[in-house]
Amino acid sequence: MQNEHKLKELICEIGRRLYAKGFAAANDGNITVRLSDREFLCTPTMVSKGFLKPEDICKVDLEGKQLAGTKKRTSEVLLHLAVYKQRPDVMACVHCHPPHATAFAVAQEPIPKCVLPEVEVFLGEVPIARYETPGGQKFADTVAPYVQDCNTIILANHGTLSFGPDLEKAYWNTEIIDAYCKILILARQLGRVNYFTGQQTKELLDLKKRLGYDDVRFRKEGACMCGPSSFDDAYDEFVPEPVAFRRNDAACPSGNGRASAAPDTEELVRLITDQVMAALAGAAV
Ligand SMILES: [Zn+2]
């Protein structure tokens, strides 16, 4: 078993980073670390993540029953346990509400892929889990269909859940998704987002494989790597539809990878305006 006190100190340190980055307002967010197959450290409820002390950290079992700690464990621990149950390789989980990624969660806008190299390599595809009232098993069940094939999940109308082989890496995934969402929003405001071509994406995924990272797309042989979401099969009654980041170049992998992020309505307005102006010019002759 790892040094429990050192892990508690690291949870406090990651909590301070979450709070300093504005990823967890007030008492928001929670952090867990796997100690063994049966024991997990977790943050307490109603304590700001910016001011945690090692003695505040609780211990729970795989069903969420509190084993140690003077403070009450977070009500959202079942969400983390849903990840540990499916992924023996995962040693830590971070849940919080980083504003840019949470904006995508509120818009229920799928996270576009094939835009930035680091995101392809470190995150890969990021699914959106349907909304459920936080806390409880029904809430935890919302992530179950995706856990096997990703390391970061957007929780619709709520926030993010990221996980990894240690706590720092699990936290980094939260930083990466929020920085990515911020860049996407800024690029969208500039009016255009360019995507990688099929070939450029393939090169990145080859690199990813060489670096030893997993990607759901490695298991979808033949499927276009920058085409529809690999999670489309996992979505059932809740299917997030792209609006702000809809790609126009459906032709994949021969698509040129360049697509406007502007909604089709803008193009339509321009066409109509051109026709009206042409008609007016004709009438004036
Ligand atoms: Zn939350």
User: Which member of 76, 109, 120, 125 is catalytic?
Assistant: 76
Q: What is the model's pLDDT at position 266?
A: 61
C-alpha 97 – ligand 1 centre gap (Å): 6
Q: What is the model's pLDDT at position 227?
A: 76
C-alpha 203 – ligand 1 centre gap (Å): 36
C-alpha 126 – ligand 1 centre gap (Å): 18
Residue 38 has pLDDT above 60, yes or no: yes
Q: pLDDT exceeding 70 applies to what percent of the chain? A: 89
C-alpha 40 – ligand 1 centre gap (Å): 19
C-alpha 33 – ligand 1 centre gap (Å): 17
> 93 — phi, psi (to 5°)?
-135, 145
Q: Is 228 helix (H, G, I), strand (E, B) or coil?
A: coil
**Element housing 139 (H / E):** helix 136-141
C-alpha 139 – ligand 1 centre gap (Å): 11
Q: Are 94 and 198 in contact (CB under 8 A)?
A: no
C-alpha 263 – ligand 1 centre gap (Å): 31
Single-letter amino acid, residue 30 = N
User: CB within 5 A of ion ligand 1: which residues?
Assistant: 159
Residues 6+ apart with CB under 8 A from 1: 35, 36
C-alpha 68 – ligand 1 centre gap (Å): 23
Residue 285 has pLDDT above 60, yes or no: no
Q: Is 120 considered catalytic here?
A: no
Summarize pLDDT for 74-87 with one digit per residue, the tens.
Answer: 999 999 999 999 99
C-alpha 150 – ligand 1 centre gap (Å): 19
Q: Are 124 and 114 in contact (CB under 8 A)?
A: no
Q: Which residue has the tokens 């935890």?
A: 140
Summarize pLDDT for 226-271 with one digit per residue, the tens.
Answer: 777 888 777 777 889 899 998 876 545 443 333 444 445 666 667 7
* Average pLDDT of the segment spanning 126-147: 96
Q: Are 257 and 196 in contact (CB under 8 A)?
A: yes
The string of DSSP codes covering 97-110 is --HHHHHHHHHTPP
